[in-house]
A and B are shown apart, each in its own frame.
Chain A
């Protein structure tokens, strides 16, 4: 599209931060359904992990809100924190295991996008 340059309204800051996603740009194009059984498993893993990640973020957000409003005891905060910390680590391990990236677990929530 020759008019691509016209689509830029404003850019501020260090674009190299988005460089990570730009590197994946060429890979974005082979975006095809395929019959490869390994890809099937990976697709399913991606779906499952995306949902787990969504729930994890929702629950963590909720815990943070309660922490802010002071309705949690120190002991509860510690227990919750440890659980979430372990869950977060486990998620990263699984994501890595299936050769997925953080960005692959991003779900477009539409109107629910404001929840997080």
Chain B
């Protein structure tokens, strides 16, 4: 099985780290794209371990630091052989090239926000109208949260993704390197009233922007 770490551009040398299962990193060019992978004998039905996640993340991190652009691959997928990998890449070469250009010179930041009360819990509402009133209140609170926390950061990003969570939302931001300092400052100065739990992390390699399904 072939385990993929990502598609890179402008990588000089492979980083001095091993891949999953201690396998050496390998590189290969296809359709003008450079792939970094390792071979594993672990069948796909094996469980994913914490170590594997961290190892994969470390390899991606090292590659990101040595490349002009990177499309990180996720853990959990494996290609049967070189042929299957080549086919997959050929079929998507154009999109991959576009994505690579979009993330060039950028890093990813993440935001996760939750509000005090469990947003979606609706304790016994007596009537239908009551139920909708509670929902409206929750929706407004969520909208307010998004406006105060997400929008200021989105303005500083080249692209964003956002998704609703049971009691708040999470978002990812594609930020150009030259905007990172400003982004960090904005992230630490967010207005989180009414009291919300807010977690901002980064910079990450652009995992969430490795494909074209984002705004």
Contacts and interface: CB of A to CB of B under 8 A. Distances in A.
B184 A9 contact: yes
Contact of A83 (B128, B165, B188): B128
Interface residues of B, number: 54
A3 B61 CA distance: 10
Interface in A6-30: 7-15, 17-18, 26, 29-30
Contacts, number: 141
A81 B132 CA distance: 5
A12 B195 CA distance: 9
A87 B210 CA distance: 36
B165 A106 contact: yes
Contacts of A7: 201-204
Nearest to B46: A32
Interface residues of A, number: 50
B131 A81 contact: yes
Interface string A59-83: 0110110011000001001111111
Residue of B49, B61, B139 with most chain A CB atoms under a 10 A cut-off: B139
Contact of A9 (B116, B192, B202): B202
B135 A64 contact: yes
Interface of B: 44-50, 53-54, 57-58, 61, 76, 109, 112, 114, 116, 120, 122, 125, 127-132, 135-136, 139, 161-167, 184, 187-188, 190, 192, 195-204, 213-215
